[in-house]
Structure 1
Amino acid sequence: MSQHEQSTKAVAVKYDQGAAPSISAKAEDELAQEMIALAEEAGIFIHKDEHLCEFLQKMDVGEAIPKELYLLIAELIAFAYVLDGKFPEKWNGMHEKIMEEV
């Protein structure tokens, strides 16, 4: 790899309700490209953020996300749910109103 080529990096975050989000997988270069391709095939939400990825790459697989990142990760998880057509019960049809306006 030349100096001008950037390596590909990927980190998977897992969230089980009632527990802190954690790192479930991470990879670099060809393995990261394969990880991304498999996620795309499975319809898994992919968020591209070079700085967040660099930080999460420093963590161990299985390690919980630090509290300082909870809000950011929660927003990404919530966004992924909305993209998947899942909405909180408290929205009481709010998403339907939004879709009507769009």
Structure 2
Amino acid sequence: MNQKRKQAVALGYESEQQTAPKVLAKGKGYVAENILDKAREAGVPIQEDGTLVELLAQLNIHEQIPEELYHVVAEVFAFIYQTDQEIQQK
């Protein structure tokens, strides 16, 4: 049985300093688990999208996302914003 190793990509965006989100961390297997654990500990929402992770994993760390991915990454940030709002209302 060939199980695919877990993969994770962490994005960040500072509107005052960047024109687009950039890759902060990425990895497979143990590194991916560590990224996810750190996100959970920090209360960062996690969205699972295998296709997007595959695309983002092709980028280098500190590289801004290409314009072709703006729309889909905007959806991720909208998800995070909505999740943050729901948490703050509790």
Given residue 41 of structure 1, which amino acid in structure 2 is its aligned partner? E
- 4+ runs of 1 displaced by more than 3 Å? none
Alignment correspondent of 1:15: 13
Task: Tell me how far apart the structure 1 counterparts of residues 52 and 46 of structure 2 sit (CA, whole Å).
Answer: 13
Q: What are structure 2's unaligned runs of at least 5 residues?
A: none
Identity value in percent = 36
Alignment correspondent of 1:30: 30
Q: Which has the larger radius of gyration?
A: 1
- Does 2:83 match 1:56? no
Higher relative contact order (CA 8 A, sep 6+): 2
Please provide the CA RMSD for this pair.
1.5
Given residue 43 of structure 1, which amino acid in structure 2 is its aligned partner? G
- Does 2:80 match 1:80? yes
Q: What are structure 1's unaligned runs of at least 5 residues?
A: 87-102
Task: Tell me how far apart the structure 2 counterparts of residues 38 and 21 of structure 1 sit (CA, whole Å).
Answer: 19
Q: CA deviation at 1:80?
A: 0.7
Normalising to structure 2: TM-score of the pair? 0.84
Alignment correspondent of 1:91: none
Q: CA deviation at 1:76?
A: 1.3
Q: CA deviation at 1:48?
A: 0.6
Given residue 6 of structure 1, which amino acid in structure 2 is its aligned partner? K
Cα deviation per residue 1:44-98 (whole Å; 9 max; x = unaligned)?
Answer: 1111111111111111001110111111111211221121118xxxxxxxxxxxx
